[in-house]
């Protein structure tokens, strides 16, 4: 069972307005044996409120990873990505753009805003699980530095 190097489930925020895609993502992680707590919001406004722990999300854990659709109601995922990467408290959270958009300008913009990965739908969800495993291996690994000599 894959978990963070801190020995706990990976906290994942899925920003997805399709219930079917959210269900398939949940199943992908179960089948891929990725120990996680999947939080789902269906629009960009709620995504930012969740990330900033505002309103009903005040007691939610800050996610280790964000899976972000670009085509969202209330606030577009492109704007959400820009807002969170411009926020000093949020920009460190890795983002996987998970969207149906294959537009070159979306891909370039997402990577220009420091998205960690861009995955287009329909996606083979085993590949999505592999992306999460890779991010876990390289992002969540805690490096212990040797103690300074006195």
Yes or no: say if 17 and 147 are a contact pair by the CB < 8 Å rule: no
Give per-residue burial for 48-62: e unless 16+ CB within 10 Å, then b.
bbbbbeeeebeebee
In this prediction the pTM is 0.84
- Separation of alpha carbons 85 and 30, rounded Å: 29
pLDDT in tens, 4-19: 555 678 889 999 999 9
pLDDT in tens, 16-42: 999 988 888 888 888 878 778 899 999
Q: Which domains does the chain have, with CATH numbers?
A: 13-131 (3.40.50.2300)
In the numeric block, which tokens belong to residue 59? 């007691």
Is the pLDDT confidence value at 142 over 70? no
Nearest to 3 by CA among 142, 143, 140, 144: 140
Helix (H) or strand (E) holding 37: strand 36-41
Burial (CB count within 10 angstroms: exposed 0-12, middle 13-18, buried 19+), residue 24: middle
């Amino acid at each position: 069972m894959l978990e963070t190097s801190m020995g706990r489930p990976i906290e994942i925020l899925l920003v997805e307005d399709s219930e079917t895609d959210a269900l398939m993502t949940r199943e992908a992680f179960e089948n891929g044996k990725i120990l996680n707590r999947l939080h789902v919001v269906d629009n960009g406004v709620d995504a930012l409120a969740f990330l900033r722990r505002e309103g009903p999300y005040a007691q939610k854990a800050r996610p280790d990873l964000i899976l972000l659709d670009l085509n969202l109601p209330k606030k577009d995922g492109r704007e959400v990505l820009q807002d969170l990467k411009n926020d000093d408290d949020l920009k460190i959270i890795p983002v996987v753009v998970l969207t149906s958009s294959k537009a070159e300008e979306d891909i370039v913009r997402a990577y220009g805003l420091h998205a960690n990965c861009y995955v287009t739908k329909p996606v083979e969800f085993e590949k999505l699980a592999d992306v999460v495993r890779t991010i876990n291996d390289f992002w969540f690994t805690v490096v212990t530095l040797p103690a300074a000599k006195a």
